[in-house]
Amino acid sequence: MPSATELDDLARRIPDGASLALAPDYSGCALAVVRALIRRGARDLHLIGVPQLGFQADLLIGAGCAASVESAAVTLGEQGAAPRFTAAVKAGALELRDSTCPVIHAGLQAAEKGVPFLPLRGILGSDLVRHRPDWRVIDNPFGQDDPILLVPAICPDVALFHAAMADRAGNVWIGVRRELMLMAHAARTTLVTVERIVENDLLADDRSAAGTIPALYVSAVAPAPRGAWPVGLRGAYPADLDHLRRYAEKARTEQGFERYLEAFVLGRVPAP
């Protein structure tokens, strides 16, 4: 049974240098913990987008917490490019490991199954293959003149995400967001914030069981009402589009980003 804990404790469980699997903005972003990571001065994190990254990654990169990114994309969606990610790549301050959605999922599925790799076809012919020496193209051992791509397992040190609820046993309900289940299965440690803790057993109810991650795969849970703000949480509250627009504008410059951190992360000045 996972321990119930506080936000700062979850942040302390993510050591400097860890590989950290994060959900996309449309899924379950544990932004309350991301802000706690920035406040504690986390460094050298290796961010893995499942399968892409957005606002929370841009915060971590801008705050100097990230050393590398492996993701199918890093974007603020309708708000445009992720400004601090873009600046870091242009400055050569961030190792970028280009990938695709199918590769990310295949790598995590390999870790989930306990195998060293999974084969894929759809990436063959892409320029990405030339830039990823850790991917291998071999002849299909069951065919002739039939190349296949082997993707190595992706086993994150930590999976971090936010969900609607957990029960007292530590089972976590994620609904339709199956990438969160995959993250929890593949990672060595899974840390989750939730909107609320419920008394009923989520696995005992057929209406919730299929969308529930068993406590076996969850290391710690912390309650965090509105813990996904400002990107929102499906079925709970929408994204704060006005706030995200303001962030995208401010974070275009390093000075604007620093002012954003001071107001909305570090709390050293009143929010404008």
Per residue in 104-161, pLDDT (tens digit) is: 999 999 999 999 999 999 899 899 999 999 999 999 999 888 999 999 999 999 999 9
How far apart, in whole angstroms, are the C-alpha atoms of residue 90 and residue 104? 24
In which residue are the tokens 């003149």 written?
Answer: 145
Kindly tell me if the per-residue pLDDT of 269 is higher than 70.
no
* Residue 67, C-beta contacts closer than 8 angstroms, at least 6 positions apart: 17, 43, 44, 45, 46, 94, 95
- Please write the tens of the pLDDT for every residue from 203-253: 999 999 999 999 999 999 999 999 999 999 999 999 999 999 999 999 999
Q: Is 143 exposed, middle or buried (0-12, 13-18, 19+ CB in 10 A)?
A: exposed
Q: Is 197 exposed, middle or buried (0-12, 13-18, 19+ CB in 10 A)?
A: middle
What pLDDT does 250 receive?
A: 97
- Which amino acid would we find at residue 127? D
- Please write the tens of the pLDDT for every residue from 170-189: 999 999 999 999 999 999 99
How far apart, in whole angstroms, are the C-alpha atoms of residue 9 and residue 219? 12
Joined tokens for residue 272: 């404008």
The answer to whether the CB of 133 falls within 8 A of the CB of 97 is no
- Please write the tens of the pLDDT for every residue from 10-41: 999 999 999 999 999 999 999 999 999 999 99
Joined tokens for residue 220: 């710690």
What pLDDT does 177 receive?
A: 94
Is the CATH code 3.40.1080.10 the one for domain 3-100+154-239?
yes
Kindly tell me if the per-residue pLDDT of 270 is higher than 60.
no
Q: Does the pTM exceed 0.85?
A: yes
How far apart, in whole angstroms, are the C-alpha atoms of residue 88 and residue 64? 9
Joined tokens for residue 174: 């994620």
What pLDDT does 1 receive?
A: 59
- Which amino acid would we find at residue 98? D
Kindly tell me if the per-residue pLDDT of 3 is higher than 90.
no
Structure letter (DSSP) for residue 39: H
